[in-house]
Amino acid sequence: MTVKHFHVEYSKLNNEGTYSPGDTLTGRVVVVTTKETKVQCFYVQAKGKAKVSWCEGNGANTVVHQDKRKYFYFEHIILQDKNKGDGSEIIGAGRNVFPFTFNIPNTDMPSSYQGKWGRITYSLRAQLTQSIWVVHKTKTEFPFRTTAEYPFASKTEMVIIGLKEQQQATRISFCGIGKVTMKFVSEKMGIRQGEAMGVTVEVINESSRTVTPKLYLCEKQTFVAQSKHMVHADDVLFGTGDPVSPHSSHTVTKVLSIAPLLSPTFFNCSMMKLEYRLKVTLDVPQERDSEIKLPLIILLGSPKPPQQKPKRSIWFRKLIG
């Protein structure tokens, strides 16, 4: 083996190392050899794609649903074309560096994403072929971030305005002897990565049972392939109120903090989408839980130092003050 080391790397444009539509991607392929090496073909590729895949059924009845879409594909020949290489090119002994440049299309493309049954990836791949028996391959993925401020389906002015508006819902349910009224209020519909906001639940318990409110952040991943849909849902508990005894009332306020690395809401991929909801349930012994759901859109956050803590909003400070 004359090739001791073979890898592809890219230059970082910012602290996060992310690229966006319209950026120029620069990098290099590094080859370390023990002696002069003949090359049949040597190239590097840049690719952006989305792919979904899942199985239904068991055994002989298993059906695979899958689909993929390519956002861009570029190839740069470094020494020899893979279809025309004749082995006449030679790489010198030692460390060799081969730079390359690709211009990412300035079009709407979704951010990098890893879901339950699908991925959106942006990658660099390099291949060096010495002979039909000796082929060297290397790959690295680079993080891609959309420049669309609102990468979801409905971009009407009312929805954009509504991102900053307070939202609320009320539900009346019956358990035991009597009724329970639950009012759920969230500060706004849209929140950025790394931010926090307050939510409140007011429970008026006129029943004969003790009830306990629980608050959840709900994630919903939807995948589409061959006209089939598959959904993966996950509920994360972020707050539990005190039990509300019969014929009493109680208001609980909790802070919802959005992790900086939590993927933003997106609908701008034809094969998958990511949505969120806020949910509050009433935990009632021996009764079916009542629940209220409110929409939540997680927006792309501004880059911040890792040590900076999310700020609580003015609305929340007034609410609990």
Nearest to 171 by CA among 288, 320, 257: 288
**Max avg pLDDT among 138-147, 164-173, 286-295:** 138-147
| Residue type present at position 31 | V
Structure tokens at 34: 């023990």
Beta bridge partner(s), residue 139: 125
pLDDT level of residue 159 (50, 70, 90 thresholds): low
Which domains, and CATH codes, for the chain?
Answer: 3-141 (2.60.40.640), 157-320 (2.60.40.640)
pLDDT value at 274 more than 90? yes
Q: CA neighbours within 13 Å on the CB side: how many for 41?
A: 16
For the chain, the distance separating the N- and C-terminal CA atoms, rounded to the nearest angstrom, is 71
On the question of pLDDT at 318 being above 50, the answer is no
Dump pLDDT digits (tens) for 80-124: 777 766 667 888 899 999 999 999 999 989 999 999 999 999 999
Mean pLDDT of 15-34: 93
pLDDT of residue 12 exceeding 50: yes
What's the pLDDT tens digit per position in 181-211? Answer: 999 999 998 899 999 999 999 999 998 888 8
Rounded Cα–Cα distance for residues 170 and 188 (Å): 16
Q: What percent of the chain has pLDDT over 90?
A: 56
| pLDDT, mean over the chain | 86
**What is the pLDDT, as a whole number, of residue 77?**
92
Cα–Cα dist 90/9, whole Å: 22
Task: Measure the CA–CA gap between 109 and 285, rounded to whole angstroms.
Answer: 48
